[in-house]
Amino acid sequence: VALQEQAIRDSLTGCFNRRRLDEAMNAELARSARSGHPLALAMLDLDHFKAVNDRHGHGVGDAMLAHVTGIIRNQLREPDLLARVGGEEFALLLPDTGEREAVPLLERIRRKVEETPLPHADAPIPMTVSAGVAEARPDIEPGRWMHEADAALYMAKDGRTALDAGL
């Protein structure tokens, strides 16, 4: 079991890894297509993370990643899946959740992260997170779905909406 856990979890944050996310996306897309229940995928990114690493060092950056994943986990329901997909980028797979229902959850996560700076010897280090979400559609390919959620994330980082970008 320990080896199996190592194969599907990120060692730093304890989150699931990209491999486990891909498996879960495929399974949940199939379930959603069969049941007609909504399914959302959100992408989250720690803002200005490189600056934290550059200023305070990678140890503090690692502590920030672990800190923020704890905050996110406390906002999730049991079936939700949190995965680390890259440096400071995370994915949230939200079964039985449409895009409209995902937005208040993402806003709550955004607010909690902002309200909970990383404790540090000098002074607490403020954190913010940006998020984008895409709802699954019948027959959407997982890579395309993730691309759509990622595009929504980058629009959020730019302070634009899908309407502003002409999507």
Catalytic residues: 88
Task: List, in sequence order, the alpha helices (H) in the chain.
Answer: 2-8, 18-35, 49-56, 58-73, 99-115, 142-157
Q: Indicate the burial class of 112 (C-beta count within 10 angstroms; 0-12, 13-18, 19 or more).
A: middle
Beta bridge partners, 153, equal none
What amino acid is encoded at 30 in this protein? A
Q: Which two tokens mark 91? A: 């994915």
- 15: Cβ–Cβ under 8 A, 6 or more apart, which residues? 9, 69, 82, 83, 84, 90
Which position has the token pair 């304890």? 14
